[in-house]
Copies of this chain bind each other. A is one copy, B any other.
Amino acid sequence: MVATALAVPAQPGTDRRRRIVHAAASLIMAQGYGATSMDAVARAAGVSKATLYAHFGAKAQLFMTIVAEECARHGNGAGAGFGVAAVPDALDAMGHAYLTLLFSDNAIAMYRVVMAEAHRFPELGQAFFDAAPRRIFARFGEWARARQAEGALDEAALPETMAEHFFALLRTSGFLRRLMALPPAPDGPEIDAMVAGAVHVFMRAYATPRTGG
């Protein structure tokens, strides 16, 4: 997934560090934190255990690093659909972007791991929530506020509430099923239907007669 080759060799340790993080991320997202041994990480990264500890000091610190890096990647993927003009089209684009991200193997694995370890690493849940869902909700809230100013969305509603409801409508039981590892994972047509349903309900609840689309 992540490129390990660089034009410039840089510090020899930098490449090793990346290999460690990548290997540890794969293992922890696949097996969970507790089930992943530092032995296994060292083996998968092709380094010795002592090197692991030279870089990260402890298993918990390596774990926190991984979550922080994944959070940064997910937070960046939150910006699709905001340029579309018509309200239903924009909702459709944002819904697809959100569900595609949310149902990805990486995102589901992150949710699972963070939920499982949140109370053993208290700052972890907050960091993940602020980096991923909260950022997406905030951007939607700004978008909704602008549409309210145009008269396209009900001005009596709070943008934050509309954001909550839109994304909640997308997290149907398909999200629960995915978190519980129940097959089948939602495919393209099913995601289309989920998005269409959410947009339909949202429009009925919050669109005005002047709404475009």
Interface residues of A (CB under 8 A from B): 32, 34-35, 111-112, 114-116, 118-120, 122, 124-126, 128-129, 133-134, 137, 161, 164-165, 167-173, 176-177, 179-182, 197-198, 200-202, 204-205
Contacts and interface: CB of A to CB of B under 8 A. Distances in A.
Nearest to A179: B115
B115 A201 contact: no
A137 to B, nearest CB: 7
Given A164-B172, A165-B197, 7 more contacts: A112-B115, A112-B116, A134-B173, A164-B197, A165-B169, A168-B172, A201-B202
Contact of A180 (B118, B167, B197, B198): B118
Contacts of A124: 180
B204 A129 contact: no
Contact of A168 (B34, B111, B161, B168): B168
B165 A201 contact: yes
Contacts of A170: 168
A115 B114 contact: no
Contact of A171 (B34, B171, B181, B205): B171
Q: Which 6 A-B pairs have the closest CB atoms?
A: A125-B180, A116-B116, A34-B34, A118-B181, A201-B205, A204-B205
Contacts of A118: 179-182
Given A168-B168, A168-B172, A204-B205, A181 B125 contact: yes
Contacts of A172: 164-165, 168
Contact of A176 (B133, B165, B177): B133
Contact of A116 (B115, B122, B168): B115
Nearest to A176: B133
Contacts of A34: 32, 34-35
Given A168-B168, A201-B165, A201-B201, A173 B137 contact: yes
16 contacts: A34-B35, A35-B120, A112-B116, A115-B115, A115-B116, A122-B181, A129-B180, A133-B173, A133-B176, A161-B197, A165-B169, A165-B201, A168-B168, A168-B170, A201-B202, A204-B205
